[in-house]
Amino acid sequence: MTAYALFAIFTTLSILDVATTIRAIESGKGKESKRIMRWLMEKMGLKPALYFSKVIILAAIGFAFWDLDARLSVAMLVALDGYYGWVVWNNYKLC
Protein backbone atom coordinates (compact mmCIF):
# COMPACT_ATOMS: atom_id res chain seq x y z
CA MET A 1 0.00 0.00 0.00
CA THR A 2 2.83 2.40 0.82
CA ALA A 3 4.35 1.99 -2.65
CA TYR A 4 1.01 2.90 -4.25
CA ALA A 5 0.75 6.07 -2.15
CA LEU A 6 4.35 7.00 -2.99
CA PHE A 7 3.68 6.38 -6.69
CA ALA A 8 0.61 8.63 -6.45
CA ILE A 9 2.81 11.33 -4.90
CA PHE A 10 5.36 10.80 -7.67
CA THR A 11 2.63 11.17 -10.30
CA THR A 12 1.38 14.37 -8.66
CA LEU A 13 4.90 15.78 -8.46
CA SER A 14 5.45 14.91 -12.13
CA ILE A 15 2.33 16.87 -13.09
CA LEU A 16 3.48 19.79 -10.94
CA ASP A 17 6.94 19.56 -12.55
CA VAL A 18 5.38 19.94 -16.00
CA ALA A 19 3.18 22.85 -14.89
CA THR A 20 5.95 24.74 -13.12
CA THR A 21 8.49 24.08 -15.89
CA ILE A 22 6.11 25.46 -18.51
CA ARG A 23 5.39 28.49 -16.37
CA ALA A 24 9.06 29.18 -15.60
CA ILE A 25 10.20 28.80 -19.22
CA GLU A 26 7.32 30.78 -20.71
CA SER A 27 7.92 33.60 -18.20
CA GLY A 28 11.53 33.83 -19.38
CA LYS A 29 12.80 33.29 -15.83
CA GLY A 30 13.75 29.66 -16.29
CA LYS A 31 15.40 27.33 -18.75
CA GLU A 32 15.57 23.58 -19.09
CA SER A 33 18.77 22.26 -17.52
CA LYS A 34 18.70 18.71 -18.91
CA ARG A 35 20.30 18.40 -22.33
CA ILE A 36 18.00 15.64 -23.60
CA MET A 37 14.92 17.66 -22.63
CA ARG A 38 16.26 20.76 -24.40
CA TRP A 39 16.76 18.62 -27.52
CA LEU A 40 13.22 17.20 -27.26
CA MET A 41 11.83 20.70 -26.81
CA GLU A 42 13.64 21.88 -29.94
CA LYS A 43 12.22 18.95 -31.92
CA MET A 44 8.68 18.73 -30.48
CA GLY A 45 7.99 22.02 -28.77
CA LEU A 46 7.85 22.82 -25.06
CA LYS A 47 4.56 21.27 -24.00
CA PRO A 48 4.57 18.16 -26.24
CA ALA A 49 8.14 17.34 -25.13
CA LEU A 50 7.23 17.64 -21.46
CA TYR A 51 4.02 15.62 -21.81
CA PHE A 52 5.75 12.92 -23.86
CA SER A 53 8.68 12.59 -21.47
CA LYS A 54 6.46 12.38 -18.40
CA VAL A 55 4.26 9.67 -19.90
CA ILE A 56 7.36 7.63 -20.76
CA ILE A 57 8.90 8.16 -17.33
CA LEU A 58 5.71 7.33 -15.44
CA ALA A 59 5.13 4.19 -17.50
CA ALA A 60 8.73 3.02 -17.13
CA ILE A 61 8.79 3.57 -13.39
CA GLY A 62 5.37 2.00 -12.95
CA PHE A 63 6.42 -1.13 -14.83
CA ALA A 64 9.81 -1.27 -13.09
CA PHE A 65 8.31 -1.14 -9.62
CA TRP A 66 5.72 -3.75 -10.48
CA ASP A 67 8.41 -6.47 -10.29
CA LEU A 68 10.65 -5.06 -7.56
CA ASP A 69 10.78 -6.11 -3.93
CA ALA A 70 8.37 -3.97 -1.87
CA ARG A 71 11.11 -2.47 0.32
CA LEU A 72 13.24 -1.57 -2.68
CA SER A 73 10.23 -0.01 -4.41
CA VAL A 74 9.46 2.10 -1.35
CA ALA A 75 13.08 3.22 -0.97
CA MET A 76 13.39 4.18 -4.63
CA LEU A 77 10.04 5.99 -4.66
CA VAL A 78 10.99 7.94 -1.53
CA ALA A 79 14.18 9.04 -3.30
CA LEU A 80 12.32 9.95 -6.50
CA ASP A 81 9.63 11.83 -4.56
CA GLY A 82 12.31 13.79 -2.71
CA TYR A 83 14.10 14.66 -5.95
CA TYR A 84 10.95 15.72 -7.79
CA GLY A 85 9.78 17.67 -4.74
CA TRP A 86 13.05 19.60 -4.89
CA VAL A 87 12.64 20.16 -8.67
CA VAL A 88 9.08 21.45 -8.26
CA TRP A 89 10.13 23.74 -5.41
CA ASN A 90 12.95 25.23 -7.48
CA ASN A 91 10.66 25.66 -10.50
CA TYR A 92 8.03 27.29 -8.30
CA LYS A 93 10.54 29.81 -6.97
CA LEU A 94 11.19 30.91 -10.58
CA CYS A 95 7.51 31.45 -11.39
pLDDT reported for residue 70: 83
Q: What is the pLDDT of residues 11-67, one digit of tens each?
A: 999 999 999 999 999 999 999 999 999 999 999 999 999 999 999 999 999 888 877
> Residue ranges of the alpha helices (H) in the chain?
2-27, 35-44, 46-66, 70-94
Residue 85 confidence (pLDDT) above 90: yes
* CA pair distance 77, 4, nearest whole angstrom: 10
pTM above 0.85, yes or no: yes
pLDDT reported for residue 3: 86
pLDDT reported for residue 83: 96
